[in-house]
Amino acid sequence: MSERLFLAVALTDEIRHGLAAFLGERTIRLPGRPTPPDNWHLTLRFLGSAEALQRDRVLEFLDEHLVVGPFTLGFVGLGAFPKPSRATVLWLGVGRGTDEVTAMAAVGEEAAISTGFAPEDRPFHPHLTLSRIRPPTNVAGLVEQVGPFPLKMEVDRLTVYRSHLSREGARYENVDEVLL
């Protein structure tokens, strides 16, 4: 039986609540389809449809090759893909810990390729997706208005999530973790 999987850095409840309050204090109305705070995370590598054997092999690879140690993750302000003047995704950027998160994503990419997944076609850019926007919208004013998010968190694991899609939206289930 296949499952939809992705590798991520899970956020602490303190960060989730803090970010929701941070955005709420600024009375920011996120454009498009906002991501529910319960679904906030930093995606390292989307795997997609995977069999149990592939999942196990990815985990084995990560256990053997993930050499990043625990680190502190900090955030900067908002940004947008592909650009603020024509945004389809509004996100919160990563500041402190960028090198470590990028290294985790690189090992996740190696794990995916080594177990038969196609290589990722876009370069990795560490971010937390806040909203998906259709049609593309100019969010430059919002990006400029919101300063850095001040809270930090300790990262000591990589999380493997299973994604459940439904009409109500996505729900993510923690399947496994690899300690740093």
Are 11 and 35 within 8 A, CB to CB? Answer: no
The CA–CA distances, whole Å, from 116 to 70, 104, 113 equal 28, 19, 5
SS3 helix, strand, coil % of the chain, rounded to 5?
A: 30, 40, 25
Per-residue pLDDT for the chain (180 aa), expressed as one digit of tens each? 889 999 999 999 999 999 999 998 877 889 999 999 999 999 999 999 999 999 999 999 999 999 999 999 999 999 999 999 999 999 999 999 999 999 999 999 999 999 999 999 999 999 999 999 999 999 999 999 999 999 999 999 999 999 999 888 889 999 999 999
| pTM of the predicted protein model | 0.94
Residue where the block lists tokens 């906030």: 40
| CATH class of this structure's domain 3-179 | alpha beta
pLDDT value for 97: 98
Rounded distance, CA 97 to CA 17, Å? 20
